Structure 1
Amino acid sequence: MTARLVFFESWVDAAAERVLSAQPEIEVQRLRYADPRAVNDAAMARAHGYQVQSRTELREPWLGDAALLARSPNLLAMSSTGAGYDYIDVEACTKAGVIVCHQSGTNTEAVAEHALGLILALSKRIGLADKAMRRPGVIDRFALQGNDIRGKTVGLVGLGAIGTRVAGLCGTLFGMRVLACDPYLSAAQVAARGAEKVELPELLRHSDFVSVHCPRNAETLGLFDAAQFAQMKPTAFFLNTARGGIHDEAALAEALAASRIAGAGVDVFLHEPPPHDHPLMAFDNVLLTPHTAGITAESLHDMAVGAAEQWVSLFAGRVPPRLVNPEAWPAYSARFRRILGTPPDPLP
């Protein structure tokens, strides 16, 4: 039986469609947000797979939630565009016998380099210097002196693929001390990834740079608020290239206004894109980017190819390499056999 895969508007790179076009057993359908709701609902009702756009581009009512699942009786799987999948209701999918996949690892280098770029730019005061150059008047270049990062301490909140790469870059290139807070890794595992395992309060007390690399979920939503910023050194910088909502944006603005921390680099926001009057826009010692850390030519290609190849594997009945909810596999297997006519492989 032909497997039907739907997506809205476009993949992040055309390489995905090239991969899928070589698979005659997979029918790929592009949907458009501007099309009538009834047209898209009909396509979703027939679909076996749904490639979900990134949160910034994704529109209602096409989030991967329980309401969409109720309108999609044949849906077997959803896949996020990148590593994050917080806009897919994994619990609802599991209850419905729908598996969820993501693209973790495909944009590791891009995000890690972006985080390092923010560390360097903040420490060297590159943003401030650039703004000073564009304003009239005499520049006091000694007032723009920065700091070397060699020998400083970076604290990583989350030590997955991206955090591990940041640890390697900071430790190897600049001889930085690398601390990491990750409750799911042992001290030995953290050491093998190039860091020292500490709890969050200790990390905040000792770090010159605090960089967030954990997923957004029930455990991490609102992880950084006024209490956490108060524990940081007044000379320290806060960075988040992970997900909006992990830090309280108002609390961060208050900490900056009170000079409780030295500055920040933020790529992600609770609501994207943020409004032009967002409080963080007012600070010269804050570098802001519009969720572009993972957007490079190389990473977009890798994300698209990774997603397409995962769909090929999934529809062939194999266990996808980046499965989020293996607990859904028994119900999914029964539905896969009923809908597509053959059973998928068992979980290893």
Structure 2
Amino acid sequence: MSVNNKRVFYVKYLAHPIYTEIMQARPDIRFDRLENDSSDEIAAPIVAAAHVYQIGAARDEIARHFHVDQDLLRRAPNLLLVSSNGAGFDPVDVDACSAAGVLVVNQSGGNAHSVAEHALAMMLTLSKRIIEADRALRREANVNRNALIGTEMQGKTVGVIGIGNVGRRIAELCKGLLGMTVLAYDPYLTADEVAARGGEKVNLDDLLRASDYVSISCPLTKDNRGMIGVREFSLMQPHAYFITTARGFIHDEEALLEALRARKIAGAGLDVWAKEPPPPDHPLLQFDNVLASPHTAGVTREARENMGRIAAEQVLAALDGKRPPRIVNPQVWPDYAKRFERAFGFAPG
């Protein structure tokens, strides 16, 4: 086996050290780490020689010049595969990768349990008004508990936007634990496929009108940016809660702010933001009925190890000529296969 003839690099961080352990056990792979502030003298030859870029999923944690766009692809003529640390792939221009014959993969499903539990925790905390009660106790004497009457989730309706790996787990938890009705909006699945995942397929407007809880769990794409805005919040019921553990920019933060000010909805649970982390003086953080976290829904010990392992295994499978299981742009496979064969002398299977 040739030594170091396959090149993999990453910038700043990985999901878990297990990724490094798996990679460094392979003598045919050279594994490089760069920092956001690595000099061009150090970074340029590594990027130029790389076959695989293992990239962070959070756009604000990676320096802009290390985002995968046309500029980086010009600097990386040998790049075959871009692998996201997570289910999302915000720092990656998928269209530019496809045009260059570069395969993009993610780790969808690797943190589904953690994210779904976080979404459910947010729903319960908001429903029982736990965060409001906690804040009141910390700043007031003689808190009136009757001013903090909550609601039960049992038997209510949850609307799941995107019933993929995370969404279907949210559906399972809500239906199984709390006997909830699950509505789902997912234009990529048939009614039978949605039913198999525990939901009833409906259009977006009907979901917003009928749901006591609206939970977003779809990836950010060019098609759903700004999908939840002024009109959509106006369709929700005044007692309904908005929850998102997906990505910033799917919902319009200014529109959500106005909906909360006008009391058009009961509150929100926000794990994702336009700017991550949001500044302490962010207007949405000033509401007691907003439960906030800094994109930590999928940040558990179990999820991080799982993500690191499946990311490494998927990259190694690809470098060994196998078809990865989590391809974001499958239409590029023929071009990718030709480039792979030119690089390594054999065609991927």
TM tier, shorter chain? over 0.9
Q: Does residue 208 of structure 2 align to residue 204 of structure 1?
A: yes
Number of aligned residues: 345
2:300 matched residue in structure 1: 296
**Counterparts of 2:190 and 2:258 in 1: how far apart (Å)?**
34
Mapping of residues 114-263 of structure 1, within 5 Å: 114-263=118-267
Alpha-carbon shift at residue 35 of structure 1 (Å): 2.2
Alpha-carbon shift at residue 136 of structure 1 (Å): 3.4
2:54 matched residue in structure 1: 51
Alpha-carbon shift at residue 186 of structure 1 (Å): 1.4
Alpha-carbon shift at residue 171 of structure 1 (Å): 0.4
Q: Contact conserved, 1:250 with 1:279, CA < 8 A, in 2?
A: no
Give 2:225's aligned amino acid.
Answer: L
1:112-156 alpha-carbon deviations (Å, 9 max, x no partner): 000000000000001001101111321111111111100111000
Alpha-carbon shift at residue 3 of structure 1 (Å): 0.5
2:346 to 339, 342, 347: 342
Q: Contact conserved, 1:108 with 1:161, CA < 8 A, in 2?
A: yes
**How high is the TM-score relative to the length of structure 2?**
0.97
Alpha-carbon shift at residue 339 of structure 1 (Å): 1.6
1:21 to 19, 24, 33: 24
1:253-298 alpha-carbon deviations (Å, 9 max, x no partner): 0000000000000100112122222110111100010000010000
Q: Contact conserved, 1:7 with 1:31, CA < 8 A, in 2?
A: yes
Q: Contact conserved, 2:234 with 2:264, CA < 8 A, in 1?
A: yes
Alpha-carbon shift at residue 211 of structure 1 (Å): 0.4
Give 1:24's aligned amino acid.
Answer: P
Mapping of residues 319-330 of structure 1, within 5 Å: 319-330=323-334
Alpha-carbon shift at residue 41 of structure 1 (Å): 1.5
The residue matched to 1:28 in structure 2 has which SS?
A: strand
In structure 2, list runs of 5 or more residues that go unmatched: none
Cα distance change of structure 1 residues 101 and 40 upon mapping to structure 2, 3 Å threshold? same
Identity %: 48
Q: Contact conserved, 1:12 with 1:300, CA < 8 A, in 2?
A: yes
1:144-192 alpha-carbon deviations (Å, 9 max, x no partner): 1111100111000111011000000000100011111111111111111
Give 2:317's aligned amino acid.
Answer: S
**Counterparts of 1:34 and 1:158 in 2: how far apart (Å)?**
36
Give 2:9's aligned amino acid.
Answer: V
The residue matched to 2:288 in structure 1 has which SS?
A: coil
1:75 to 57, 70, 79: 79
1:279-330 alpha-carbon deviations (Å, 9 max, x no partner): 1011110001000001000000011111100111010011011111121111
1:236-265 alpha-carbon deviations (Å, 9 max, x no partner): 000110000000000000000000000000
In structure 1, list runs of 5 or more residues that go unmatched: none
Q: Does residue 8 of structure 2 align to residue 5 of structure 1?
A: yes
Q: Contact conserved, 1:336 with 1:344, CA < 8 A, in 2?
A: yes
| Stretch deviating more after TM superposition (61-70 or 12-21) | 12-21
**Counterparts of 1:61 and 1:234 in 2: how far apart (Å)?**
44
Q: Contact conserved, 2:12 with 2:62, CA < 8 A, in 1?
A: no
**How high is the TM-score relative to the length of structure 1?**
0.97
